[in-house]
Structure 1
Amino acid sequence: MGGIALLAIFGLLRTFMFSGAGKGEASPPPLVSVVTVEPVELADVVTFSGAIAARDEAALSAEGESARVAALLAEVGDRVKAGTVLAKLDTSLVAPQVSSLEASLQESKANAAVAEAEFRRAQAVANIGALSAQEIERRQAAAIAAEARVKVVSSQLSEAQARLRRTEIRAPFDGIVLTRAAEVGQLASPGGAPLFRIGRAGGIEMRGNIAERDLPRVSVGQVARVSVTGVDRPFVGKVRLIGAVIDAQTRLGSVRIDLPAERDLRPGAFARGEISVGSGRRPLLPQTAVMSDATGNYVYVVD
């Protein structure tokens, strides 16, 4: 038939016997239908799975010194602006130090102003001999020491103010709160477990894994269709990055798909992706024509 085979599709799952079969009569042949297998233009698609993730994330922990969480001002899912205070740590130690140093700085500045004024008066009468050279030098030294004291206290105050600022956990950029591990009363330590994770606004992607045999057919810029569990519509994105290595255990390579920033794309959601890598004419069989057993799938062919 011009190289095109006919597939036999069994319409009966068992052979019926005539009533006289027991007397040596042959059983009738099984009833079948056939279909002509013809090549059809089919898309060649690479499929893979993965999860939705924020393209850029920041893990926020305590800085400077350990302190207990005093207040929480943000929850998971909140959209925040850069600089938004997410949590406050206890300030019972550092806040009084700041207040004390602010007072000391004002006092030091006042003393420095007085010392500078006395030195200038001494200089004004130096030519008429009203004050000894020793006294003038003493006043000059006092003015220099007073000014140095201002600088020392000012530096101490700046350091204390920086410590006070570090008791506020702030968002580093516009984004969404992905996780919150902080609890009121919890001891937050530098280098400890993150209190919050923030995903940058407008940066959503799918992180998936593709079979080693399919990875060479995928390239940056290709269009991908992504389906997310619980969402009844697909999302269209583009391949942004292809991993440089293959996992030795799973034989999979990583791929990242840039996606539009939409509320239905929640970081952590399971996702499936498809990338069309071409098309070709291939034989298409009806599903009912394909049989299977312990050795695999097979079809019947009519000669």
Structure 2
Amino acid sequence: MNYETAVRSETAEAINSRYDLSGERTASSRLKWVIAAGALIIAAIVAVYFFTRNGEAATVAGGDDRSQAPSVTVIAAGQTTVEGSLKTSGALAARRAMPVGVVGEGGRVVSVPVEQGQWVRAGQILASIDRSVQSQQARSSAAQIDVAKADAQLAQANLDRALQLVERGFVSRADVDRLTATRDAARARVAVAEAQYGELLARNARLNIVAPAAGLLLERNVEPGQTVSAGSPPLFLIAKGGEIELLARLGEEQLARLAVGVSAEVVPVGSDKSFTGAVWQIEPTIDPQNRQGTARIALAYAPELRPGGFAGVTIKTGPINAPILPESAVLNDSDGSFVYIVDKDNKAQRRAVKTGVVTSTGITIESGLDGSERIVLRAGGFLTAGETVNPIVGGAK
């Protein structure tokens, strides 16, 4: 018994001294502690995860379905001061169109020295009518003046001689009165002849068709050799001063927002150049058929502004307070423009809006919103009215 104990003791000491196993047992003990600590951390994470899931399940069971609802970004538009405007279109026309026709007895046109598109001055001859017959009549009338003047001179001489003889008793006072009357009649015939001659000259002058005012010749509807008369249609059309206007057609509500003097930007069809004008007149009548009126916008002459053409126009209406939304928030379909708002129950509701001017920051909403609503910023096209959503505030405009 003692021998076995001694052998075992000796053997253990020999092994320990030979292989130094105490260090290995220490390293193994540390490894076990590390493994145990890692297992505890993993267990804690799993416990937190299941606790969170159980809490969400309890919430869903209690009736809150936001975990299943789609998340949408919402904004509050607020009110912003912007420059109001109206966009429409209309026809270009001469602001003061002057049709020019035959004012005399007419006849055969012998010359037309002007072309359409040419600037003319007041009194410039646009066309001449043959006056060969009228010229002979004028010569005859001028000769009648000479005859009348000769008769008047003779009558005056007879009267002068009679006045010298009346004092001697050779001529009676009655003869003097008769000669005085003859002299006065001769003078009257001179005045009549001169008036007739002046009338013929005026008639002949009217055979020249002249421009009543300076401006741009828009139409020329006559050629040499053509016979014209006082009943003929206008031969020429002149834009007085070359001034042009745009006849903008607007509804009653839009006309109520305008005032004479507000500025407008006009862009002719087929051109990317804009022209600045101003509303100079708002016509006082409304078309009973389409309930529209006309705002007349004055424009200076420019070659691109051709009367009879078509142009778009943006009319400034002054500053207004209105909500402004990003383009992504405003949707359109066959019923018009609309947005989705999120109500107090977090349900998406469709709201029809009327859009206004497009600015660098978004689209102006003229009506339909007061700016306090929560507006779906994006993905509104994937929503349906009444659908529950999870709103995420994305900022205010």
Q: Same fold (TM over 0.5)?
A: yes
Letter aligned with residue 284 of structure 1 = P
2:143 to 103, 125, 135: 103
Q: CA deviation at 1:101?
A: 0.3
Q: CA deviation at 1:98?
A: 0.8
Q: CA deviation at 1:56?
A: 1.4
Counterpart of 1:18?
none
| TM-score (structure 2 length as normaliser) | 0.61
Does residue 1:175 correspond to 2:215, yes or no? yes
Counterpart of 1:300?
382
Does residue 1:70 correspond to 2:110, yes or no? yes
2:119 to 79, 86, 94: 79
Q: CA offsets per residue over residues 42-62 of structure 1, 9 Å max, x none?
A: 654311211222221211111
Task: Answer yes or no: is the 8 Å Cα contact 1:67–1:187 preserved in 2.
Answer: yes
How far apart are the structure 2 equivalents of 1:78 and 1:66? 24
How far apart are the structure 1 equivalents of 2:289 and 2:96? 27
Counterpart of 1:39?
77
Counterpart of 2:310?
270
CA RMSD of aligned residues (A): 2.7
1:153 to 190, 193, 215: 193
Change (3 A) 1:284 1:125: same
Give the number of the structure whose alpha-carbon radius of gyration is greater.
2
Does residue 1:281 correspond to 2:323, yes or no? yes
Q: CA offsets per residue over residues 178-202 of structure 1, 9 Å max, x none?
A: 1111222222222431011111115
Tell me which stretches of 4 or more aligned residues in structure 1 moved more than 4 Å: 32-38, 40-43, 132-135, 289-292, 294-298
Task: Answer yes or no: is the 8 Å Cα contact 1:37–1:284 preserved in 2.
Answer: no
Q: CA deviation at 1:296?
A: 6.2
SS at match of 1:271: strand
| TM-score (structure 1 length as normaliser) | 0.79
SS at match of 2:327: coil
Letter aligned with residue 83 of structure 1 = G
Q: CA deviation at 1:118?
A: 2.1
Task: Answer yes or no: is the 8 Å Cα contact 1:47–1:210 preserved in 2.
Answer: no
Q: CA offsets per residue over residues 73-103 of structure 1, 9 Å max, x none?
A: 2111111111101011121222211111011
**Identity of paired residues, percent?**
34
Letter aligned with residue 72 of structure 1 = V
2:181 to 141, 163, 167: 141
Q: CA deviation at 1:223?
A: 1.2
How far apart are the structure 1 equivalents of 2:327 and 2:76? 9
- Residue-pair matches, total: 270
1:59 to 89, 92, 99: 99
Indicate the structure whose relative CO is greater, using CA pairs within 8 Å and at least 6 residues apart. Answer: 1
